[in-house]
Amino acid sequence: MNSFRKVISIKTDKKEEIINITGRVREILSKSEIKEGLLLVYSMHTSSGVYISDSDTSLNDDLTDLLSDLIPEGKGYKHNLTDYKKNAPGHLKVILSSHHVVVPVTEGRMDLGTYQTIYYSEFDGMREKEVLVKIMGE
Amino acid sequence: MNSFRKVISIKTDKKEEIINITGRVREILSKSEIKEGLLLVYSMHTSSGVYISDSDTSLNDDLTDLLSDLIPEGKGYKHNLTDYKKNAPGHLKVILSSHHVVVPVTEGRMDLGTYQTIYYSEFDGMREKEVLVKIMGE
Amino acid sequence: MNSFRKVISIKTDKKEEIINITGRVREILSKSEIKEGLLLVYSMHTSSGVYISDSDTSLNDDLTDLLSDLIPEGKGYKHNLTDYKKNAPGHLKVILSSHHVVVPVTEGRMDLGTYQTIYYSEFDGMREKEVLVKIMGE
């Protein structure tokens, strides 16, 4: 069994932003030389996540709009009374959407469906954040 | 280390439908002859997912009702302005519920709790779709 | 390849309760002697889950409040007509938040970010429940 680990650094321009990281994950898999196995794409944070969805980026706004509707700012969150960053909605948005994904690896490639795209979802950005890619296999 | 990969084909009768795929996943695990490891059940699509829940199928309607309440049709989704299939809610429903699951495998069996059932959740059906089962272990 | 399996038993005092299980998972990883791999923390139930979030426990109430807002009791769930425990909201809360997590393992430690904490989320408690930790690697 082999394993391979690589960190992707991301700094968004806005507090909330969704970024396609499929190409960067693909490069890491290629470097790993692992042909068969499982690939974990894991946000090192609690205010950003990773999910798989459609390649059309207009959907990114639909997701951030939806999450802001379901988890509005300024709703008396207890976390915001104890934490100076007052980012309860950011944390809750990650729990409701997705924090990490596991992708199958076959013949050296991710088994992504035609439109499947790996996204990094940032809800507390404008600073250096990290996504860990860990691959296990042979 | 061994790995095993098998695709399950699913065509639902309705646009939205939830299907118990536990038996089909169990058969694939049995064929793999893997005794200890991890099993990934992964939707190859962005408008269908996989999740684990109770064996009582009446809960399936409760889930699709809930998701339709939280993510209503006809709400001015940006994706629906750019994509002819206009299925923003379908994509968002997968992100909010679950896209894939990882199940432990011990002594050749999935470590499912008493009532745990693996479901395929379709939000854009009536056509051939695929779920990938990838097992890693020994 | 090695694998290691251990069950954590949990009995909450309340029907809904969120419990930090990071320390117990860390102990299991230490016993496994696995240095590189993937670690699955998996609820054996359909009315409790596992997720990763911030170390500040005030956020736990924010999550249970949010889920109770989105999935209110007494809303005519079909499951509650067929099941004597009538716990449709509990099951749906797990699907909407998170049922299990996969954590990278590097040099014998979980690759958790600074504030990352592994939580068990109970929505049908006051009885013995089980979380399975399954580790694969070398």
Under 8 Å CB-to-CB from B12, ≥6 apart: which residues?
B19, B122, B125, B126, B129
Checking ipTM against 0.95, whether it exceeds it is yes
Distance in angstroms (rounded) separating the CA atoms of residues A66 and C32: 41
Between helix A58-70 and helix B88-96 the angle, nearest 10°, is 60
**Residue A86 confidence (pLDDT) above 90:** no
Largest distance between two CA atoms of chain B: 50
Among C51, C62, C102, the residue with its CB nearest the CB of A40 is C102
Write out residues in chain B with pLDDT < 50, as ranges.
Answer: none
Q: What is the pLDDT of residue C83?
A: 82
Structure tokens at C13: 């005092």
The residues on B that touch C, with CB distances below 8 Å, are 1, 36-38, 51-54, 56, 58-59, 61-63, 66, 70, 96-98, 101-104, 106, 111-113, 115-117, 136-138
Nearest CA in chain B to C135: B37
Listed residue (A80, A30, A100) closest to C65, CA to CA: A80
What is the b/e burial string over B91-120, where b = at least 16 CB atoms within 10 angstroms of the residue's CB? Answer: bbbbbbbbbbbbbbbeeeebbbbeebbbbb
Distance in angstroms (rounded) separating the CA atoms of residues C96 and C93: 5
Q: What is the pLDDT of residue A24?
A: 98
**Min Cα separation A115/chain C (Å):** 23
Q: What is the pLDDT of residue B85?
A: 82
How do residues B53-77 score in pLDDT, each as one tens digit? 999 999 999 999 999 999 999 999 9
DSSP letters for C32-59: HT--SEEEEEEESSSSEEEEEE-S-THH
Interface test with B, best of A66, A103, A120 (most B CBs within 10 A): A66
The residues on B that touch A, with CB distances below 8 Å, are 1, 3, 5, 38, 40, 42-47, 70-71, 77-79, 81-83, 88, 91-92, 94-96, 99-100, 102, 130, 132, 134, 136
What radius of gyration do chain C's Cα atoms show? 16
**Residue C86 confidence (pLDDT) above 90:** no
How do residues C96-132 score in pLDDT, each as one tens digit? 999 999 999 999 999 999 999 999 999 999 999 999 9
Could you tell me the pTM of the whole model? Answer: 0.98
* Every domain of chain C and the residues it spans: 2-137
Q: Do B100 and A97 touch (CB under 8 A)?
A: no
Contact between A83 and A17 (Cβ < 8 Å):
no
Nearest CA in chain A to C119: A95
Q: What is the pLDDT of residue A85?
A: 82
- Percent of chain B at pLDDT > 90 equals 95
Among B53, B103, B137, the residue with its CB nearest the CB of C91 is B53
How do residues A19-77 score in pLDDT, each as one tens digit? 999 999 999 999 999 999 999 999 999 999 999 999 999 999 999 999 999 999 999 99
Check whether domain A2-137 has CATH 3.30.365.10, yes or no:
no
| Residue C84 pLDDT class (50, 70, 90 cuts) | confident
